[in-house]
Chains A and B, each alone.
Chain A
Amino acid sequence: MKNIQTTIIKTAVVIVIGLSFFSCEKHLDDLRDNPNAVTQIDDAALFTKAVRSLFQGTTDQSVSRFAGQYAHYFVAGSTARPPDQYGDGFDENYNDMFTGMYGGTIRHIEEVLEITSAAETENEVRYAMAQVIAVLGYARLTDAFGDIPYTEGGKGKTEGILQPKYDTQEFIYQDMIKRLGASVNVLKDADPALGYPNSDPIFNNDLEKWTRFANSVRLRLAMRLRDADNSLSLQTVNECLANPLMEDNSHNATMIETEGNGNAWFGNRTGYPSIKMSTKLIDQLQGTDDPRLAVYVSKDQQGNYSGMINGLGDVAFGNSNFSAKSDMGIALSSRDSELYLMNAAEVWLLRAEAALVYDNDPVTANTLYRKGIETSLMQWDIENTDITTFLSSPTATLSGSNDEEQIGVQMWLALTPNFYESWSYIRRTGFPVIEERTDPKSSRGVTNGIMPKRFLYSSFELSSNNNNVTQAIERQGGNKISVPVWWDKN
């Protein structure tokens, strides 16, 4: 009797324990799912993220602290100013910019490329659009950092590569030009339904504009190789000219940031550390009666345009009455001011340069140059009469003696507010001339007064991807801001 009881109890215990184990496992499975996120998403949502990151990048610290000051558009105050003194003690900033560029555009566009090329979810059109965004993302990185992880870069998730090897900028440019060529070919006669209807922050899925955009970006990259790989540059430019390009301002790749506090220049104009426009910019605009002066620069409290000299030493800066100087213009720095990835004026001016140096055709070059200026003025809603007046001024005609400089200066003005791109143009062409700083009141920084030519690889990159980045540094000639990137032969 007692044995039977024991057996029953034992059996019951086993059953109870068995059941509880089973239900425990089930319960743990339920808890494993993250309730704060989804496990699947349409790649359109990641595409918009990548595109928006690109636009946001045109106002981030790479521009507000670095490129915008390097390119002598403005001088930032307080803790944002030191890069203007050509120092390099910005390890944390370098790291933030490096990881930020990868973590924003690249992270999401790599996922889009993965999804749109996977067997079940393949979409050639979306893939082609994503390629354009990916190229812009990588170009932004390589233009400032030189060699970067490219073929293995941004593939922490898609391919599980945690210590990506670096590619040379030469290779990266060759590949980017290929990718854009392929995209142009696909987009030229693609079915918009296969694109990103309702999920395209730039052109609202207008594939004709996308084609122009892709081809124009390709032209930009091709011209950037003018001194580094002349034959590829020339060949690519000719291919680009055979395809549609951005021609008027309706083709511009722009976006208005409506989320959060809107355009970040608004915060920079109204907040602290503030930004004051550069004397060099104001002098250029004032000296040529350029109607864009009132667009790019606000008057100071006295009603004048008063600029800040870039690169002042601490003593001179302290005595400069910085806070009373002219702010950025309202049209550039309102909450709803447009952000630019590329505009038609840039394309005209690129074509002017190409006509001048590749076709040796100053007449066409002049026409294209004037078209670039006109397009730029129209972009800022300048009155027609003012446009006519300006176009009739000597500034608006190539003089034949310093045409490249004229094109460079107009490029500098036309790119506003795409300051980051402008820094690249200045590095490549040397125009507008950013004088070497010799005035004892100026800070000569670590570059002996010469405009910095790149960002540094951060100590964190050196710690987390040591072998690869060390090789890249060695092959480029040192981790110094005075070392030019590959395409910068000037």
Chain B
Amino acid sequence: MNKLFFLLIAIGFSLSASAQRSISGQVLEKETNVPLLGVSILVKGSSKGTTSDFDGNYELNNLDENAVLVFSYLGYTTQEIVVGNQNTINVSLEINAQQMDEVVITALNIQRDKESLGYSISQVSAEEVNVARENNVMNSLSGKVSGLQITQSNTGVDGSSRVLLRGITTINGSNRPLVVVDGIPISNGGSGGSSWGGVDRGDALSDINPDDVASISVLKGAGAAAAYGSLGMNGVILITTKSGIRKKGVGISFNSTFTFTDIALTPDLQNEYGTGAFGDFAPMAGNGRPILDYPFSWSWGPKMEGQAYTDWLGRPGVYSPNPNGNPYKEFYNTGYSLSNSVSFDGVNENGSFRVSITDEDGQGIISNNTISKQTLNLRGSSKLTDKFSIDGKMTYITSKVKNRPELAEGSANTALQLSLMPRDIHLSDVKNNIVNPIGEEIKWNLDNTFNNPYWSNRYVQNLDEKDRFQGFISANWEISDHFNLTGKTGMDYTVYDYVSHGARGAQAISNGLGSYSHNSGKSNIWNSDILATYTTDIAAFKITTSLGASYRNEYSSYNNISGNDSKVPHFYQISNYKNSFSSEGISEKGIYSYYGLGQISYGGFLYFDVTLRNDNSSTLPKENNSYWYHSENMSFLFPKLLGINDNILSLGKIRGSYAKVGNDTSPYRTQAVYNVDQTVTLPYTVGSIPNSLPSFDLRPETSKSWEVGTELGFFDNRLQLDFTYYETETTDQIMAVPLSGSTAYSSKVINAGSIENKGYELQFNAIPFTSDNFEWNLGFNFTKSNSKVVALNEGLEGITLNTLWNVSVEARPGEEFGSLYGNDFLRDNFGRKLITNDGYAQRGDRVKLGNINPDWFGGITSNIRYKNLSLSTLISIQQGGEFYSYGRAYRMFFGTDKRSLHGRETGIIEEGINENTGFDNTTPANAMLKQFSDVFTNEIATDQILDASNVKLREVALTFDFPSSMLHNTFIQSASLSAIGRNLFFFYNAAGDIDPEASYSSGPAGTAFEHSSLPSTRSYGLNLKINF
């Protein structure tokens, strides 16, 4: 990281002084004597200067003997040297770890001194993402960056993650921050199943190879992101990948990680009562098997005490507790993940290159859920002339994920099947009785939803193949010392092919006929931009102005075919299905943008930035398709002005930022159209009108935000504090307002509603102890973010963002975004439950039962180094926030949950008062009927709204750096070995046996619901890095 540089930072300075002396020399890194390219060499107090070339050489003419040369290079301590009578000045620059953190990459890939920025930015280094490596880079940021909330869903290998930066700002939008890789915005949608099932196809972020990441900058808030226009409205995550750097040795690096994944948390199941209802066994059918339908397929039978009975297969059996108390641990396996990465770096005087190849293989806890992914990355730059250089990158990613697990209520969700299977059923019997002689699935329940997990595993399969190409070419022309022109074009092109099929023989799969679907599609995002930059100094002012224009095109298309009723078994191609259907679609939008950036700095302590941008989007009506926005940022380093220059206050900065950002919408929402229905047999044409009404007068939505913050450093920056307060108000939101069904339409896209988002972020870093052999770094970050729905469309009580069973997550005016609404118990004015004469609680009003947003969240990082050994730890904390677990609700009325043991023999005396007498209820309710009527008949959600508060040991890495003495006389330049662990355990989990992150979707409201998720996993293993 510290050796990282970019070719485009060098901007010449005009010469104006009179001729006296010429100086030349070489700039090297002090520890390694490696030449440094691009070091800035400035004549102090003037604008004169140059940069070092590929061999670290530089030359300056016409210098005064009294001139002082300032050698500065990002990540290194600046040196000042008086010219005097020297002709050659060779300089060795020392690495400065603390300063390193202060140079950051900002919008449009401009490197900036962090001190000069008027907004909050966090930078994460490569080591933080590629040691305790995660398949999805975003998960590595969890708990490390204030303001950034990452929720990794529990959806098998290569699942997606919910990413929020400074909370929710729009009701309908994805609310995900923009992800920019090497200056090119890439596609980045959420994914996941619905409450009815489906699989999580992963998100684009899992395609970013952690091993190629050089650094990640998190630009929070619109002020930081205004340069990206509406795309950056939710903040920007800038990922810079590695480019060729000069290294000691041959320039080959090797990084290998192997981890195991196993089950960390599963729901607590009872093991005392088996199949049946009302304490009885299920009645027998004519075929000698028990009738496995409601409610006798539940676990409300007699107590298992070794009685003789007829088991679910119709065999005489012994009715006794399951020898394996935890079916999850019996069914699932230990998964693994192996990744190997090799990279080659090279630099010569005309350019640099880096080539890397990464191979990843993994297997989830479901043994046929595997991933195989290869990433090839090629980065090169070349200086064609002194003034003209080009830089380019090509990344090719090919991935194959097999058998993404079905989620939630999906009929192939093995976790659902395991969680509800009556407790007397032995998994070994299930495994040995999958298909009967006539090819039908053998199962313990007639309901389509609940299947034999081994059948599902074997006969419901999918294959998700994706090829992705990302690349850019940029050219930089230094027209003069003041004037620089950069052009860049880049794309993110993805092709996917997703095949899923279910065999014949299970009612759940097309009524036993078998089904097949094959979805393929492609998407392409193409960005081209040009930026002209002019730099000049006027007295103590340094002024940089840039003008730019860009065009962005987003295209996607799909082609889906599906069929049912298979002709021959286990052959999965469309020709094998008697009925087939197909559909296709195209979506395209374009945005032209023009922008100007200006930056004025005065005296090195006052910085002022302005951005002005105009976007023209094809998604808005012609009259309204042009919209403007701007941002103003200021940074003020007060110690410099006040002349404070001591070690106690080593850094003092106050910053402020204001931004107004506009936003467009998705394509084709402004045109009234008719669909032509796909029909195969009909002699006439069937047309239809889409559900959603178009809007002919949409305007861009607007987000206004401001923030203030301060950065303070004490005792040589051993104590650092970064505090930000921000407010964002997003108005005129473009949203699909749900309409009363009686309009005949489900929604209309309009400008309505506003969300006010406020919060503060605190980052605190300390180095309590430091010496040559021992150092301890401690970090703490804290985020409190609150998104309040100020208004919706008039007359609209709320917008339902998502539902599970009878619980909805909603945006309602006056409330925080993401309220959970569901039925409560019927209560009197004092909140006491009103109980019937039979002893049962009743359904009351639909009320707010919780909110998905945490009160606050944060992380604690600790890094302790003793000699060559270092231990880094990350603990994440979330306080507050609720979610609804229908998984638990299900297990309660099916009687498999451990909590369902309560009152089985005695009945449950519901706390509350008799609705007729007003006295305390003393009538016991049958436990099974109580659970059934509460959860199923009355749809009361209150008891399954769980607190998401938790403290988790998210990451531990113990690293041993091989000392150079050990590597002496080998061809190895450096090496390190780490033992790593991720998501190891909860220190505290309010929801007990359910992981609050175990959602099935990574959408903005995805954390609202848990439904029979796969067991949460932890991973641990080794990471080896070697540089040759």
Contacts and interface: CB of A to CB of B under 8 A. Distances in A.
Given A98-B742, A107-B745, A271-B448, A37 B586 contact: no
A323 interface: yes
B621 to A, nearest CB: 8
Interface in B582-622: 585-590, 592, 616-619, 622
Given A156-B745, A271-B507, A315-B278, A259 B681 contact: yes
Interface residues of A, number: 87
B744 A82 contact: no
A7 interface: no
Contact of A156 (B616, B676, B693, B938): B693
B278 A89 contact: no
Contacts of B625: 28
Contacts of B592: 24, 28
Contacts of A321: 283, 285, 291
B294 interface: yes
Interface stretch (B66-74, B102-110, B165-173, B667-675): B667-675
10 closest A-B pairs (Cβ-Cβ)? A99-B741, A156-B743, A45-B687, A37-B673, A465-B740, A31-B618, A107-B744, A463-B797, A258-B681, A34-B668
Nearest to B286: A324
B511 A271 contact: yes
Interface in A49-79: 49, 52, 77-79
A459 B846 contact: yes
Interface string B536-551: 0000000000000001
B690 interface: yes
A235 interface: no
B688 A464 contact: no
Interface in B718-747: 738-746
B684 A108 contact: no
B117 to A, nearest CB: 31
13 contacts: A28-B590, A28-B592, A28-B622, A31-B590, A32-B671, A34-B673, A37-B673, A52-B686, A87-B937, A89-B939, A91-B806, A102-B744, A463-B796
B843 interface: yes
A78 B625 CA distance: 52
Interface string B565-591: 000000000000001000001111110
Contacts of B618: 27-29, 31-32
A162 B689 contact: no
A106 interface: yes
Contacts of B522: none
B740 A461 contact: yes
A2 B397 CA distance: 52
Contact of B686 (A45, A91, A148): A45
A324 B687 CA distance: 42
B565 to A, nearest CB: 9
A41 interface: yes
B671 A464 contact: no
Contacts of A27: 590, 618
Nearest to A85: B937
Contact of B806 (A77, A78, A92): A92
B689 A107 contact: yes
B684 A48 contact: yes
A164 B743 contact: yes
Interface in B646-683: 667-668, 670-677, 679-683
Nearest to B511: A271
A49 B740 contact: no
A153 interface: yes
B447 interface: yes
Interface in A79-100: 79, 82, 87, 89, 91-92, 95, 98-100
Contacts of A270: 511-512
Contacts of A156: 693, 739, 743-745, 748
Interface in B488-538: 507-508, 511-512
Nearest to A269: B511
A110 interface: yes
B727 to A, nearest CB: 29
A98 B741 CA distance: 6
A52 B687 CA distance: 11
Given A37-B674, A89-B939, A102-B743, A464 B738 contact: yes
B688 A78 contact: no
A299 to B, nearest CB: 14
A95 B286 CA distance: 40
A144 B748 CA distance: 27
B130 to A, nearest CB: 40
Given A103-B691, A323-B291, A461 B742 contact: yes
B437 interface: no
Contacts of A461: 740-742
Given A31-B588, A314-B932, A95 B741 contact: yes
A44 B684 contact: yes
A169 to B, nearest CB: 14
Given A78-B294, A322-B293, A461-B741, 5 more contacts: A32-B668, A39-B672, A41-B674, A149-B742, A321-B291
A417 interface: no
Contact of B684 (A37, A155, A201): A201
A106 B743 CA distance: 9
A110 B616 contact: no
A102 B295 contact: no
Contacts of A155: 743-744
Contacts of A29: 618, 622
A164 B740 CA distance: 8
A30 to B, nearest CB: 8
Contact of A323 (B446, B677, B691, B745): B446
Contacts of B744: 102-103, 106-107, 110, 153-157
A360 interface: no
Nearest to A100: B741
Contacts of B684: 44-45, 48, 198-201
B588 A157 contact: no
B782 to A, nearest CB: 36
A273 B447 CA distance: 7
A463 B683 CA distance: 42
Contacts of B689: 46, 107-108, 111, 157
B674 A32 contact: no
Nearest to B932: A314
B741 A102 contact: yes
A103 B677 CA distance: 15
A15 B738 CA distance: 46
Interface string A271-311: 11100000000000000000000000000011000000000
Nearest to A157: B693
Interface string B937-976: 1110000000000000000000000000000000000000
A103 B676 contact: no
A106 B740 CA distance: 14
B204 to A, nearest CB: 23
A394 interface: no
Max count, chain A CB within 10 A of own CB: residue among B688, B796, B843: B688
B712 interface: no
Contacts of A102: 741-744
A42 interface: yes
B205 interface: no
A384 B590 CA distance: 70
Interface in B790-806: 795-798, 800, 803, 806
A28 B617 contact: yes
A393 interface: no
B277 interface: yes
Contacts of B447: 78-79, 272-273
Contacts of B690: 37
B743 A31 contact: no
A154 B685 contact: no
B929 interface: yes
Nearest to A79: B447
Interface string B284-297: 01100001011110
Nearest to B796: A464
